[in-house]
Structure 1
Amino acid sequence: MSALRQLRLIAFLEGLSFLGLLFVAMPVKYLLGQPLAVRVAGSVHGLLFLLFVSSLFRAAAEHGWPARRSLAAFGASLVPFGNFVLDRMLKREEDGIRELQEQDMCPTNHYPSSGEQRRFDSSHRSRP
C-alpha cells in the first residue's frame, strides 16, 4: 500500500473516531452518566491518532513534503471534519501521481527530493 493511500485510510478512520468521540461518546458520558463510552472511544481514537501521525511522517518523508505541509495535515487532524478535507487534497495528489505514472513521466512513486531535483535540473540544462 502506498504511503498516500495508507495516510488517507488512517486519516479517514481517525476522523470518524474523533467524530464518534465528540458526538456520541461525550454526550453518553455527560447526559447518561456512562463514562465507559469515552474510555473506549477515547482509547480507539488515541490509537488511530498515533497511527495517523506515524503514517503522516511516512508520507511526508517519501514525498518530500515541506514542514509547512506536514504541519497543515497535522492541524487538520485536530479539527472536527478536518481529516475529510485533508482526504480530498490527498486524493487529488494521489490521482496526479497516478496520471503522471501512466504517462511514464514519473517513474517512481514520489516527488523528487530537492537534491534529486537539482541533479535533474543541472543534467538537463542546455549547454552553449
Structure 2
Amino acid sequence: MSIETALRNYRVAAWVTGVGLLVLVLIAMPLKYFFGQPQLVAVVGMMHGFFYMAYIVLTLLLAERCRWKPLDALLILVAGTIPFASFVAEHRVTQRVRVGRSPVS
C-alpha cells in the first residue's frame, strides 16, 4: 500500500469516526440523559466503537508507512476520542504527510 492510499484511507476513517463521535455526544447522549431514550446511544455507540477500531488500524498503517515516532501516532489516535479533534488531526496529518513531515513535531 502506498503512502497516498494509506493517507486516503486514514482521512476517510478520521471523518467517519469524527462524525460518529459528534452524533454520539451531541445527539444520542442528550436524548438518553435528558429525554430517557437510550436506543440511539446503543446503536451509535457501537458504530463509533467499530469505526474507531478501523481508525486505529488505518492510523497505524499510515504511521508505519511514514515512519512516525510512536508518540506521534499515539497523539493522532487519541484525537479519535475527542469531539472535533479528529477533524483537526486529519487536516494537520494530511498537510504534513504531503510534504513529508511528521504529523506532530
Alignment TM class, shorter chain as reference: 0.7 to 0.9
Rounded to whole Å, the distance in 2 between the matches of 1:87 and 1:60 is: 13
TM-score normalised by length of structure 2? 0.85
Structure 1: tracts of 5 or more residues without a match: 98-110, 112-128
SS of equivalent residue, structure 1 residue 34: coil
Distance in 2, matches of 1:59 and 1:16, equals 21
* Comparing 51-60 and 1-10, the one that deviates more: 1-10
User: Where do 5+ consecutive residues of structure 2 fail to align?
Assistant: none
After superposition, the CA RMSD in angstroms is 1.6
Which residue, 80, 94, 99 being the options, matches 1:96? 99
Q: Which whole-Å deviations, capped at 9, do the CAs of 1:92-114 have from their partners, x for residues lacking one?
A: 134325xxxxxxxxxxxxx9xxx
Give the AA of the match of 1:37.
L
Q: Which runs of 4+ in 1 moved over 6 A?
A: none
Equivalent of residue 82 in structure 2, options 79, 87, 108: 79
* Aligned residue pair count: 98
Amino acid paired to 2:22: L
CA-to-aligned-CA distance 1:29-80 (integer Å, 9 cap, x gap):
1122111110011011011000000101111111111111101101212211
TM-score computed with the length of structure 1 as normaliser = 0.71
Correspondences of 1:37-116 after superposition (within 5 Å): 37-96=40-99
Matches of 2:18 and 2:36, distance apart in 1: 25
Equivalent position SS for 1:2: helix
Q: What residue number does 1:120 align with?
A: none
Q: What's the CA shift for 1:16?
A: 0.6
